[in-house]
Copies of this chain bind each other. A is one copy, B any other.
Amino acid sequence: MSLLEEFKSGDLRALARIITRVENRGEGYQGILAELYARSGRALRVGITGPPGAGKSTLVFRLAQLLSSRRKKVGIIAVDPTSPFTGGALLGDRIRMQELSLDPRIFIRSMATRGSTGGLAEATRDTTIVMEAFGKEIILIETVGVGQVELDIARACDTVVVVFMPESGDAVQAMKAGLMEIADVYCLNKADREGAERLIVELQSVLGLRQKKTSWEYPIVQTQAIHNKGTEELWQTIDQHREYRQKEAPRDRRREIRIADDLMMVVRGKVDRRLEKALQGTERFGRAVRDIQGKKTNPYAAADALLEDISRLLAE
């Protein structure tokens, strides 16, 4: 059986191998993605984001457990470098991770940070596609909600949950700078700790402004993920948001927007790799660098000249 046939028969090792191949741009990856793309786009993509230490991973663990108990097939993608899913976890985290990884309905994948800027969002998108084609119905994507790439990933989700905790008064500030606006659902984790009420009041005052612009009532769900409290309510809220979205925008229109985003990302990725191949380490590029160093030109003029030269290469 070929790798793709094994994949289609539901073989977990084939799933893992295909993700690795696609991530590394290994042999035939493009054909694989092309074939799997048509089977993708049906899962619900839920982004779980927030500052480090808010308990996002534990929440993801609880949600995955709940969904599995309802016979849902779940994919988990951890983009957050502080997540226990990405390794280096505390003991409690490790035990929870192990429990999840033994559940046949749950598949976990960690994304490493990468050298090239665009790579991480692209790898996350591709992994989502592969998991969806494998039959995963819900994809939970954990990111740490502060970096630009991470915000880009969150924007590609159907529903974004922003998680924070009472201690992180700073977190609310952080959220004001970008995170606040991408949240569909707010989750106050560790809600039994001191400062929870104050933070909710703060949040509500900010939410008041948002609610005027939409008919969706931004909820604040309180959880204690470590004690598995509030998980069910959180999931119900995510589900309500799904229903809201379906009423607001027809499925076709949303699919069209997602395809446009996907296409643009693929084009960018291809161009980026071709650029690297056409330039890095080449005599042409080295000469340009020396000319800039010798003040004969500057990076802006040199870039124009290089682009004129290599446009033909980009088409190949």
Residues of B within 8 A of A52 (CB): 51-52, 146, 168, 170-171, 174
A289 within 8 A of B: yes
* Nearest B residue (CB) for A269: B303
Stretch of A96-104, A183-191, A215-223, A291-299 on the interface side: A291-299
How many Å lie between the Cα of A302 and that of B288 in the bound state?
33
How many chain A residues touch the partner (CB < 8 A)? 80
Contact of B34 with A307 in the complex, beta carbons under 8 Å: no
A168: contacting residue among B53, B90, B117, CB under 8 A: B53
Residues of B within 8 A of A292 (CB): 37, 259, 262-263
How many Å lie between the Cα of A296 and that of B232 in the bound state?
41
Given A146-B144, A173-B88, A315-B308, A259 and B299 contact (CB-CB distance below 8 Å): yes
Q: Mark A273-301, 1 if CB is under 8 A from B, else 0.
A: 01100011000010011101101001111
How many Å lie between the Cα of A98 and that of B84 in the bound state?
40
Residues of B within 8 A of A262 (CB): 292, 299
Query: Quick one: which of A241-272 are within 8 Å of B by CB?
Result: 252, 255-256, 259-260, 262-264, 266-268, 270-272
* Nearest B residue (CB) for A260: B289
Contact of B82 with A173 in the complex, beta carbons under 8 Å: yes
Additional A-B contact list (6), CB under 8 Å, known A52-B170, A263-B292? A37-B298, A38-B295, A53-B170, A144-B146, A148-B148, A266-B303
How many Å lie between the Cα of A170 and that of B271 in the bound state?
38
Contact of A271 with B275 in the complex, beta carbons under 8 Å: yes
Max chain B Cβ within 10 angstroms of own Cβ: one of A89, A151, A168? A151
In the assembled complex, 27 residue pairs joining A and B whose CB atoms fall closer than 8 Å, in A order, are A33-B298, A34-B298, A35-B298, A51-B52, A52-B168, A52-B171, A53-B170, A81-B174, A81-B179, A82-B174, A86-B177, A89-B173, A146-B147, A147-B149, A148-B150, A252-B293, A256-B290, A259-B292, A263-B285, A263-B289, A263-B299, A263-B306, A264-B279, A267-B279, A271-B271, A307-B314, A307-B315
